Structure formats: structure tokens, C-alpha cells
A and B are shown apart, each in its own frame.
Chain A
Amino acid sequence: EAQVTQNPRYLITVTGKKLTVTCSQNMNHEYMSWYRQDPGLGLRQIYYSMNVEVTDKGDVPEGYKVSRKEKRNFPLILESPSPNQTSLYFCASSWGEGGEQYFGPGTRLTVT
């Protein structure tokens, strides 16, 4: 089954404790992206990747890191999480620009 998976689905952590949210897709998509969803703000793009080792900033990259060492995986790293990073995070993948994005199930992160 074609899908995008994220782990963990729920995470409660404390300020400053490094964490990684994994994202994996099995559709051989070249394009992958991370979004955060906050009430009233819609989906805001954090980082995106157009291929292995090719990443670029979205609209809200501050406080986040990403890496794309393999085509199927695109982890999101929060080196020192802060409460303002409490949000619902979605990973998405696509065959290319101008193509449908397939979203993962979401990761609800709470930073206290």
C-alpha cells in the first residue's frame, strides 16, 4: 500500500531535549516536505527536499533541521525544542513540483 508514515504520532517532551520525528514514504517520490499546522494559521512549510542531499527552507525553518540521506526518509530534527514549537506536524511527499502531495498521519508534539 502506497503511504507516508510518521513516528512518533504523539510526543510530549521538555524544553531543550533534542528530538527527531521520522518520515518515510514508499512511493519512490523525489519531493518531500515538512509542515506544521496551528489553529488559524493553516499549514506552514518548514523545509522541503527535491532529492537526496537537496533541501531548502520553507516559510518557518527557524529551530528545525532536516536531512535527506535516502530517497524514502526525511527526518525532522528539533535540536532544542521550545514551547512555541508545540504543534501538529505533517510530512508530505510528491512525484514533483506541481504534483499532488501525499500527507502522513501527523505527529502531535507538545513541548513543556
Chain B
Amino acid sequence: GENVEQHPSTLSVQEGDSAVIKCTYSDSASNYFPWYKQELGKRPQLIIDIRSNVGEKKDQRIAVTLNKTAKHFSLHITETQPEDSAVYFCAASIPGGFKTIFGAGTRLFVKA
């Protein structure tokens, strides 16, 4: 079945620096790749997503890139701010249903 690996598990950056989180997936049929942010004690919320027919997508300070050949996708956060501190999850969805596999998460700390 589908497996999603996410790295690193913990990331600490200085405010203003960039942060990159990487995920790899195993099922080449996966076609939808969302990223969710979960603040402490809160529910996960979508921050950006990308579909398999697109290589890159950007939304202000956040961007996601997808390499279908290598089966990996990455989240890029530029000019990090303390409020970016949270756990970030990548996920992959297989078409034809609602099966969604999440990565184990990355805890991002942004130091002021």
C-alpha cells in the first residue's frame, strides 16, 4: 500500500530564515498532495496543496514543489515568523476513493 515518509521530524530555524520539509511517497498512482499545519492543541488545517499535473505552486511565503519521477514533494516556507511554529503534515491521496496517507509530521520551531 501507499507509504509517505516525511523528513525531518524536527526543524529549528531563526526568524527570517527559510524552512524546507520533504516527503516521499511510494504509490505512483497518487495524484493529490496536501500540506496541513497543526498548531498546539488545535485541529489540522490545509495550508497548500498540489496536484500531480503541476510541478510547483506558491501562495505568498509558502510554496510546494512536486517531482513525480522521483516521487517526492517538498514544502518551502520563506521569511519564517514565530507564528509559523507548528507541526506540519504532508499527505498523499490515491484516486478513486478517499484513501489518504499522512506523513509522520515535522515539528517546526521558529526562534525569534
Contacts and interface: CB of A to CB of B under 8 A. Distances in A.
18 contacts: A40-B9, A42-B89, A42-B105, A45-B101, A48-B99, A49-B98, A50-B98, A56-B97, A56-B98, A56-B99, A97-B96, A98-B32, A98-B95, A100-B49, A101-B34, A101-B36, A101-B46, A106-B43
A59 interface: yes
A85 interface: no
Contacts, number: 64
Contact of A33 (B1, B34, B89, B98): B98
Interface in B21-53: 31-32, 34, 36, 43-46, 49, 51
What bracket does the count of chain A residues touching chain B fall in?
Answer: 20 to 34
Nearest to A56: B97
Given A43-B89, A97-B32, A97-B95, A33 B46 contact: no
Given A48-B97, A56-B97, A101-B46, 18 more contacts: A42-B89, A42-B104, A43-B102, A45-B99, A45-B102, A48-B100, A59-B101, A90-B44, A94-B98, A97-B32, A98-B32, A98-B93, A98-B95, A100-B34, A100-B46, A103-B43, A103-B45, A106-B43
